[in-house]
Amino acid sequence: MITPDSTGDNSPQFDILRRGAVDLIEEQQTRKLLALGRPLRIKLGLDPSSPDLHVGHAIQLLKLRDLQELGHQIVLIVGDATAMIGDPTGRNKLRPQLTREAVEENLVTYTDQAAELIDMERTEVRRNSEWFDAMDFQGLVRLTSRMTVARMIERDTFQQRMEASEPIGIHEFLYPLMQGWDSVMVKADLELGGTDQLFNLLVGRDLQREEGQMPQVCLTLPLINGSDGRKMSKSYGNAIPFKAEPADMFGKVMAIEDEVMGAWFTLLTRLPQEEITTLLAGHPRRAKAALAADITARFHGAQAAQAASEAFDRQFQKREVPEDMPEHVWPDEGGADLQLATLLKSVGLAPTTSEARRLVKQGGVRLDGEVQSDPVRPISPGAEPRILQVGRRRFVRLL
């Protein structure tokens, strides 16, 4: 672990902790904690609401790895109790409640995937059902008495939903209190979260102070968008899963907007800032290729990243068609012509015919290498396999 030097300077640790962060509450307290020279208890809560992790989750896990390598104690809170409520953050409607069985199923893949970035053998994993299942009704009432309704509806998410006349369940008010109580139970020195979690993290500070503990430091990190400009989410179909194949991962990083590369370099790589600045000052395509290679190598190794880079160059710089594209039998058994939009939906290249029409009108669809402009154009099965392409990376060979 990095310890202060003879002058009491803990800047190296502080700089690692602060890299890419948005909120740090409070800086002076953080420096005092680092100066103690003991491992800090660094908390991150994970609600296994789905089975897969994507590179947006890697931002926080990489920060945990950095702190773990400095000798600090990582405490992962598995929200098997809170997941049954669902964090309303970023939601404009009631979030479905998960069963304990569904949480357990998702937890298996969550921990396996988190182990790709942090050392699980040195990580303290706690389920918050450990204390919430033991809490009786009187204990729950005492917990809810710690928060006023006025304070709760200060949260942006609740304000927006009230203005939109969207329903808010009373059970949703429990979530910030439960997350905050987790911090009390594990005596967290610092809690990590996305910027959408700041309210919950601050509740933890308040509850710890009321319990006579030193209030935790709150550190938030940005949320990143997927290739379509919206928040990265599996539900939007714009996420880059940890389990994505190397070529797919590399290609999806290459599809992000040039303007976000600086943030991605800072949050998802550990390249020195001087090197990042040099890359961004050069050709955008070269910088993005370096970013894609770094991220792909983290999950699949340098050799796989190099192969993915070379395949990408062959496919898009030299306009070559990939050899291992998915194959699809012509959707109509009689071999009848199909409108292009219908064909795109039938082979899974568009979720709906309306989305397929939009893709065609935007010039994003090719048939046998030629850009298509008419979504209702009748397409005939060919004597030879036909190649249908959407965007830069998605291909189907029609048999």
List the CATH number of the domain containing 365. 3.10.290.10
Last residue of a domain, one of 195, 226, 257: 226
Q: Report H helices in 6-119.
A: 11-18, 27-35, 55-69, 100-114
User: What CA–CA distance (Å, rounded) separates 275 from 280?
Assistant: 9
Residues 263 and 146 in one domain: no
Q: Is residue 322 part of a domain?
A: no
57-83 per-residue burial string, b: 16 or more CB within 10 A, e: under 16: bbbbbbbbbbbbebebbbbbbbbbbbb
- Structural domain count, the chain: 3
Q: What's the CATH number where 167 sits?
A: 3.40.50.620
Q: Verify that 176 and 84 share a domain, yes or no.
A: yes
Q: Is residue 357 part of a domain?
A: yes
* Domain span holding position 193: 11-226
Is 83 domain-assigned? yes
- What length is written for the chain? 399
42 inside domain: yes
386 and 308 together in one domain: no
The CA distance from 340 to 327, in Å, is 17
pLDDT tens per residue across all 399 residues of the chain: 444 443 445 678 899 999 999 999 999 999 999 999 899 999 999 877 666 789 999 999 999 999 999 999 999 998 888 877 766 654 444 455 677 777 777 777 888 888 999 999 999 999 999 999 999 999 999 999 999 888 888 887 888 888 888 888 888 888 899 999 999 999 999 999 999 899 999 999 999 999 999 999 999 999 998 766 778 877 677 788 898 899 989 988 988 888 899 999 999 999 999 999 999 998 888 999 999 999 999 999 999 999 999 988 877 666 666 777 888 888 765 567 788 988 888 888 888 888 888 888 888 888 877 778 888 888 877 666 778 888 877 888 887
Of 226, 254, 288, the position where a domain reaches its end is: 226
In a domain, 236, yes or no: no
Q: Are residues 248 and 149 in the same domain?
A: no
Q: Is the domain of 248 the same as that of 347?
A: no
Structure tokens belonging to residue 47: 């609600």
